[in-house]
Structure 1
């Protein structure tokens, strides 16, 4: 194998990650349509999103325990999961009010996402042993853009928007679901065809429960892990509540367009944070972004009623900072974990973090049904505040750490 990867490798991996992870919020973007057509309760958004998150937790554990990406070629695992996830997501377009099937299919998509995003990280790590930190920021930025994509497609397919010609004659929500499914399948095919196996690929070690003990014994590792948990309390709950926030000032397809730009802005936070971390260290950058997003939570009662330009700038800035610290927490956790237990620590940290997001989503969606957003949103700051408190052992210096391993997700 050549010492320098072919130029196509990184763009293909990044675009395939973007395509595959667009499945994550594919249904959230069209849920208002489903709620109207299927007479679903307002809390359906929490149930549907939690199903994906729990599926991802289960899939992460299963893939790690079975070591599937080590037993089989990672590009084939990526392809299989992309195709199966696309089928599960596409099947939603055939449903007609069967909410239980919708939840089951979203759980299946979440499970299969564990074979897309983490496996894509592994593929990237095999080609980019040097400079993996920068690659990590790009890949997490692709995840953020993929999360935003369904909202962008919904804006195009909505009233007054541009029709999706490949799905003419379908309802707007069906067009979005099928378009995202097709894109995910193409991403899997592109990786399988254009990214060959690299002889220097990384090989994992079995996941061991004893690795959890390192989190509590090591003060610096404990700081990065608990800071990440605070980040996860806020991140996905904001993404779930964002349509309701935007709907206070916009209507129709403009809601989806605003959600797209607010979420997609997080890619700038990931890329910019990676550049700043070279000078200031991951701990400092994570601290700054976590503090900024926490301030956005606390300022929400005033900014919800601010002039439209200020309101829009607030949402974009919140989108940048709420996701921008994800690569830095990846670097911190991997850098502080014992070398022999990095994979296990990251696996369990991710699973607990996503479980926390399920609790947060359920709480905040139900709270938003009972109280005004101005009273609910400030409580999202509980995560950033606790995360900042826990990060203190890492913010006394520059926070320079060794390169992260390729298994962390935001």
Structure 2
């Protein structure tokens, strides 16, 4: 059965949509700041608590798993529809900030692990709800608006590395405090100033009884496999890029140190923010599958190169990292958009929840695997562990493109 052609959305003429999107984007950027705090100050935490590379990796992995748990709980309880958006987002951001701040007084690794899990759990009330909040102000420009939010959360997740770049010899307190204050401020901005727009966002609740339907639906399964391959690479790259830059700067004789490496990592990650917006525009014109395949090929190529270019001139290394930073996140929002297009209409909410849970779940493993492999065998081996992700993603997207083309669904997906 061929999908019907969507009618042209009404033009966005609602006054206040621009300021609303700006407010929400700033709040998302600030609210997501705690995500990589433990990665940015890993050396300080390791020195204070005597942690191994594997234990450090699990501090970031715990955020990923907490986010999965928070997403599932929110979906099962339908929190995004039951709790007013500004209270759900605002309270989640403030509490995530407070959980992040407790890293400074944690007595041991298990306590740190629990705090990191709690932070991820609470941030599940910031990221997905933020996307829906933006959609209430836009119709024709909804794809652009959501792209802006994705860009904001990308820069927000990179923020701890920016703070680390100016943290000096004792970065634990300034970085942790900065990310904590940012999250609390982001939550307060929404609590005090946000109001939802006039366009109701379509409710798509999660239902356990539809999980089997989603798993057995081939196109949804392919979109989820593509997302899983993408996520296997994405968060591991983000989590260790500052460590890679540290090793690039030191043996290469370029000078600088951990501060400079953190700033370079921030730049490489943050450049993915505007890259995600541009990728969304490309996907609307060229097709989501093709856009994701291009991004996966480019990011996978950079991943394969990263371990072997560390002794190259610094400008070349930085250029590769910037391309990598754009490509590795450029396709992120497109996988979710694909699920909304290919999943059975009555099971879209369940499909999105399962896609997010599986995708973020595997990131905990890839982050641990990369950091452990790097400590044991070095960077070429560590980066090689991530290569199956882009390969899986390309294969899945190529098959999905073929299926949709054969069915006459249109080679250019509209969002």
Could you say whether these structures have the same fold, taking a TM-score greater than 0.5 normalized by the shorter chain as the test?
yes
1:185 matched to 2:184: yes
C-alpha deviation, 1:359, in angstroms: 1.8
Match of 2:108 in 1: 98
What residue ranges of structure 1 are gaps of 5+ in the alignment? 160-170, 404-410
2:272 to 249, 263, 266: 266
C-alpha deviation, 1:60, in angstroms: 0.3
Q: How does 1:285-300 map to 2 (within 5 A)?
A: 285-300=291-306
Match of 2:412 in 1: 400
Query: Cα–Cα, structure 1 residues 172 and 297, in superposed 2: closer, same or farther, change >3 Å?
Result: closer
1:384 matched to 2:383: no
1:154 matched to 2:164: yes
Match of 2:227 in 1: 228
Q: Deviations over 1:243-278 (max 9, x none)?
A: 221111222311111111111121132022122123
Query: Cα–Cα, structure 1 residues 341 and 314, in superposed 2: closer, same or farther, change >3 Å?
Result: same
Match of 1:373 in 2: 379
C-alpha deviation, 1:131, in angstroms: 2.1
1:348 matched to 2:359: no
The 1-side partners of 2:342 and 2:16 are apart by 28
The 2-side partners of 1:230 and 1:6 are apart by 35
1:126 matched to 2:132: no
1:87 to 85, 91, 98: 98
Match of 2:6 in 1: none
The 2-side partners of 1:185 and 1:392 are apart by 42
The 2-side partners of 1:9 and 1:231 are apart by 31
The 1-side partners of 2:17 and 2:149 are apart by 18
Q: CA RMSD in A?
A: 1.9
The 2-side partners of 1:198 and 1:135 are apart by 13
The secondary structure found in structure 1 opposite 2:370 is helix
Match of 2:259 in 1: 253
What residue ranges of structure 2 are gaps of 5+ in the alignment? 1-12, 250-256
1:326 to 321, 332, 337: 332
**Structure 1 range deviating more: 17-26 or 191-200:** 191-200
**Structure 1 range deviating more: 285-294 or 171-180:** 171-180
The 2-side partners of 1:367 and 1:191 are apart by 41
C-alpha deviation, 1:83, in angstroms: 1.2
1:140 to 146, 150, 162: 150
Match of 2:69 in 1: 58
Aligned residues of 2:284 and 2:414 also touching (Cα < 8 A): no
Aligned residues of 1:123 and 1:201 also touching (Cα < 8 A): no
The secondary structure found in structure 2 opposite 1:302 is coil
The 2-side partners of 1:73 and 1:135 are apart by 20
Give the paired residue count: 391
C-alpha deviation, 1:199, in angstroms: 4.8
The secondary structure found in structure 1 opposite 2:247 is coil
Query: Cα–Cα, structure 1 residues 58 and 393, in superposed 2: closer, same or farther, change >3 Å?
Result: same
TM-score by length of 1: 0.90
The 2-side partners of 1:239 and 1:111 are apart by 19
TM-score by length of 2: 0.89
Aligned residues of 1:20 and 1:116 also touching (Cα < 8 A): yes
Match of 1:164 in 2: none
The 2-side partners of 1:27 and 1:399 are apart by 42
2:342 to 331, 336, 339: 336
